[in-house]
Amino acid sequence: MATITDDAAAASAKPFDIVATYNELLRSDPDLTMPIAAIEALVLLLTQSASSTISETLDLLEKSTAHLKKSIPNPIGLSAGTDLFQRYLITTLQRPGQLGPAGDFKAIRTHLLSNGRLFIRRAKESRHKIADFGRGFIRDGSTILTNGGSRAVSALLQKAADEEGGPSAVRFRVIYVLSSTATTSGDSSEEPEGMKTVRALREKGVPVSTIPESAVAYSLGKADMVIVGAEGVVENGGIVSRMGTYQIGLLAKAIGKPFYVVAESHKFVRLYPLGQYDLPIVQHVIDFQSEEDIAESTQQSSEATKNEDRPIELPLSASVDFTPPHLISALITDSGVLTPSAVSEELIKIWF
Amino acid sequence: MPATSLALTPGLASFLKSLKTNPIDTSIENLISLLKRRQIRHSRSCATATAYLLRSVISACRTADSAKLIERVQGVGRRLMAAQPREMVVGNIVRRVLGLIRDEAEDDREAEFALSDVGSESQPQTPRAYDDPSLPLDRDSLSIRSEDRSARPPLTSMFSLLSHPEPEHSLPSTPGSLSPGGRLPGHGPSKDVRAEVLEGIGEIIDELGQVDDQIAAYALDHIHSNEIILTHTSSTTVQKFLLKAAAKRKFTVIHAESYPNNHEATHATVSGGSMHDDDNLGFETFQKPLIEHGITVILIPDSAVFALMSRVNKVILGTHSVLANGGLVAAAGTRVIARAAKVHQTPIVVVSGVYKLSPVYPFDFDSLIEYGDASKVLSYEDGDLVDQIDVQNPIYDYVPAELVDLYITNLGGHAPSYLYRIVSDHYRKEDISF
């Protein structure tokens, strides 16, 4: 973690680069989620800036957030963090109490600046909380189908497998869907997302079977439930998650297996996608090409034209899809087991 | 089922009678064995018995310390729930009482902080506001109470990540923190807690008595003239609901008889015969059956439900308990009806008091189903057969939330997906698993 402070120190010399900070934070700590990294980046930003008035700070935050969102290919997760941060600042200032009403801006500033570590710790703790809530879902003899590299799911499964998590370890099996997009994107040396969890579970004595995405429908008959993670939970209770989650949701619904989502409540994001193609990201999953186009594109790539104005594309290996709420049985969050419709209420609580 | 019930058979009435004379521990044992032997079996009877028992427990508990009260109630509650884990209303009532104690303790502390030494007179105002036993007011006040509670900690949820480290002290969650050191325990303003809690339990008991009438008040919104309504089992909540509508409108009721566990009671309900359930005697004075209001009632076997469903406008069902995810546990056969209604796109309305709403999440559906007397399916006269086949008589069905269109509780109509909200209004998080 020393890298961050070093980084911050180095950044003080040159103008603060929020995008670099955000990326650095994510790289330095693999356990960090995108919203928390965004919050951390904003905290560091405030440390750097000398803003002393409320509106100056809010303005700075707004500008940096917009910049950050524009520079990151998938801003859904991080906007949950930046929104939360902004709303927290505004509500605290409005609320009468020890930190408000507008009475002591300095106090809230110092609170935010001095507690950066605390936020990260709490965010990680919330994963354990989720694991406690979700442990009851995993019963002896059950088989769980999961996908992706969600750390919350991993924490939940490992907690269930752990001896000390409860009266005794649950004897369950896991079917792990491994994504094939990572390998097809040319980066064959990298192991597919989730292998770390698979190894950790096997170490704990949990029998794990890894299947490709094409075998989900075939394997679902042997599974009792599906548990997936999420990158962002949107307003209507649907989730934005790793590509392939939507089809698992559809299949689970068709076969009648419960589909649970594990997500921290700081991932709730104020976004109302109407469908797959209504997400604020650009990803060329579907790319129609004729022979001509291919020839043209190879020519172009050799020229390596870089257009600054174009929004940044999400690489295929990091592409996401949207799972609508009617496919989700329940969301296991750190504030309890929620129905999808409860998400909007949580969001309303902080926005209005 | 002790159908030939004389006044001597143990049941709710005899339990309530004995509660006044017996020492408290005997009463606890008494109720535990009644629950275990299923001599108290209807949801409301269980709820009432639990509420009365807890009232005696608290009035016998000569302490003013809320932490001790909570501990005592938790202890009794655990034993009751262990006696009949599938009777979820018992746990619900215990949780509500625990919530009451916690509320009072917090109110107390708040008042104490605010006006350090005014004494007990100023605090009870908030609870007394929903004290009025009159029917409509009580309903209003219930919702006020819930709003009030939900409005109080608005910043606990997503902001908890960023919030100041200190504020936790204002929202105590464990019994241990309820009596912070440095305060004089036992006397002063907190003396009043017990009385307030007893009063609160009185309100719960009142609510249990009125719940059917409150639900019935919504009947005219849902039952229209010349509709064909299908119902199932002899649920008094449903009967009152239909009767209320019958006073103003003419409609047809198709009544599935729910053989083999509830058919006798259903026949009695339809015909208005005298065989009324003894358990309910405490509340129910005998009522005129629907037919006397000029309603056409058609009694059908359960197997005919699908055939008739295409003609039905609405299905109204009673329930045993409702779960936090919007699913419900109801008399066996309910799921078949719900499924048939879904196939025909017939709306399914479930009427249920809020006291049946359990914060329990159904992790394991099978464990919720209770199995009853196999002799009702195959009587002992057929003893030869019994040796050769396995006879089962499940009493309940689990109906998933997506099969239900609307819940009508004493607080109004709710979508199944909204029930989590009512759960969080009525039960404290820290009590959900105690």
Supply the DSSP string of B102-157, one letter for each residue: HHHHHHHHHHHHHSTTS-GGGTTHHHHHT---SHHHHHHHHHHHHHHHHHS-TTSS
- In contact, B121 and B192? CB cutoff 8 Å: no
For residue A123, list chain B residues with Cβ-Cβ distance below 8 A: 161
Taking alpha carbons only, the member of A344, A87, A325 closest to residue B421 is: A344
Estimate to the nearest angstrom the gap between the alpha carbon of A133 and the chain centroid: 19
Instruction: Indicate the SS3 state at residue B371.
Output: strand
Rounded to a whole number of angstroms, the CA Rg of chain B reads 23
Taking alpha carbons only, the member of B23, B33, B44, B1 closest to residue B240 is: B44
pLDDT of residue A166: 55
> Which residues is B230 bridged to in the sheet?
B254, B315
Structure tokens at A84: 């939360």
pTM of the model: 0.79
Asked if the model's pLDDT at residue A265 lies above 80, the reply is: yes
Which residue type, as a one-letter code, is found at position B63?
T
Cα distance from B367 to chain A (closest Cα, Å)? 12
Max mean pLDDT range (A39-53, A335-349, B133-147, B342-356): B342-356
Q: What is the mean pLDDT of residues A2-16?
A: 51
pLDDT of residue A74: 85
Angle between helices B66-83 and B24-36 in degrees, nearest 10: 30
Among partner residues B162, B364, B417, which is closest to A341 by beta-carbon distance? B417
* DSSP H or E stretch at residue B73: helix B66-83
Would you call B162 an interface residue with chain A, using a CB distance cutoff of 8 Å?
yes
pLDDT of residue B351: 95
Q: Which of the 8 DSSP states describes residue B293? A: G
Q: Could you give the CA distance from residue A51 to residue A46 in angstroms, rounded to a whole number? A: 8
H helix runs in B290-377, sequence order:
305-309, 334-343
Are B158 and A265 in contact (CB < 8 Å)?
yes
Residue ranges of chain B with pLDDT lower than 70? 1-9, 111-157, 164-191, 273-287
What does the domain layout of chain B look like in residue ranges?
Answer: 12-210, 217-431
Instruction: Indicate the SS3 state at residue B25.
Output: helix
The model's pLDDT over A183-231, given as tens digits with 9 standing for 90+, comes to 444 555 567 788 889 999 999 889 999 999 999 999 999 999 999 999 9
Are B420 and A265 in contact (CB < 8 Å)?
no
Among all chains, which residue has been given the structure tokens 């190879």?
A298
- Contacts of residue A159, defined as CB under 8 A and 6 or more positions apart, other chains included, come to A128, A131, A132, A134, A135, A165
* Backbone conformation region of residue B233, classed left if phi is above 0, alpha if psi is from -120 to 50, else beta: left
Burial class from Cβ neighbours inside 10 Å (0-12, 13-18, 19+) for residue B202 reads middle
The model's pLDDT over B201-247, given as tens digits with 9 standing for 90+, comes to 999 999 999 999 999 999 999 999 999 999 998 888 999 999 999 99
> What whole-number percentage of chain A has pLDDT above 90?
26
Q: What is the ipTM of this complex?
A: 0.73
CA-based torsion, A153, A154, A155, A158: positive or negative: positive
Range A21-58 burial, b when 16+ CB lie within 10 A, else e: bbebbbeebeebbbbbbbbbbbbbbbbbeebeeeeebe
Burial class from Cβ neighbours inside 10 Å (0-12, 13-18, 19+) for residue B8 reads exposed
Q: Could you give the CA distance from residue B354 to residue B356 in angstroms, rounded to a whole number? A: 5
Asked if the model's pLDDT at residue A1 lies above 70, the reply is: no
The CA distances from residue A95 to A103, A347, A352, B213, in Å, are 10, 18, 13, 42
Q: Could you give the CA distance from residue A13 to residue A10 in angstroms, rounded to a whole number? A: 6
Q: Could you give the CA distance from residue B69 to residue B50 in angstroms, rounded to a whole number? A: 16
Cα distance from A251 to chain B (closest Cα, Å)? 17
Instruction: Indicate the SS3 state at residue A33.
Output: coil
For residue A261, list chain B residues with Cβ-Cβ distance below 8 A: none
The model's pLDDT over A175-186, given as tens digits with 9 standing for 90+, comes to 999 987 554 445
Which CATH code fits B217-431? 3.40.50.10470
| Residues of A engaging B, defined by a Cβ cutoff of 8 Å | 39, 84-85, 87-88, 91, 95, 98-99, 111-112, 115, 118-119, 122-123, 126, 136-137, 139, 265-266, 268, 329-330, 335-342, 345-347, 349-350
Q: Could you give the CA distance from residue A144 to residue A219 in angstroms, rounded to a whole number? A: 11
For residue B158, list chain A residues with Cβ-Cβ distance below 8 A: 84, 265-266, 268, 335, 346-347, 349-350
Are B162 and A340 in contact (CB < 8 Å)?
no
Q: Could you give the CA distance from residue B156 to residue B166 in angstroms, rounded to a whole number? A: 13
Mean pLDDT of all residues belonging to chain A:
82
End-to-end CA distance of chain B: 31
pLDDT of residue A285: 85
Instruction: CATH number for A127-277+318-351: choose from 3.40.640.10, 3.40.50.10470, 3.40.50.150, 3.40.50.720.
Output: 3.40.50.10470
Burial class from Cβ neighbours inside 10 Å (0-12, 13-18, 19+) for residue B412 reads middle
Q: Give the pairing of strands A259-262 and A330-333.
A: parallel
Which residue type, as a one-letter code, is found at position B366?
D
The model's pLDDT over A73-114, given as tens digits with 9 standing for 90+, comes to 888 888 888 888 888 888 877 766 555 555 567 777 777 777
Q: Could you give the CA distance from residue A70 to residue A50 in angstroms, rounded to a whole number? A: 24
pLDDT of residue A92: 77
Q: Could you give the CA distance from residue B383 to residue A187 in angstroms, rounded to a whole number? A: 71
Angle between helices B43-60 and B66-83 in degrees, nearest 10: 150
Structure tokens at B308: 């008739």
Going through B267-389 in order, the beta strands assigned E by DSSP cover 296-300, 314-317, 321-322, 328-331, 348-351
Are A339 and B157 in contact (CB < 8 Å)?
no
What does the domain layout of chain A look like in residue ranges?
Answer: 2-114, 127-277+318-351
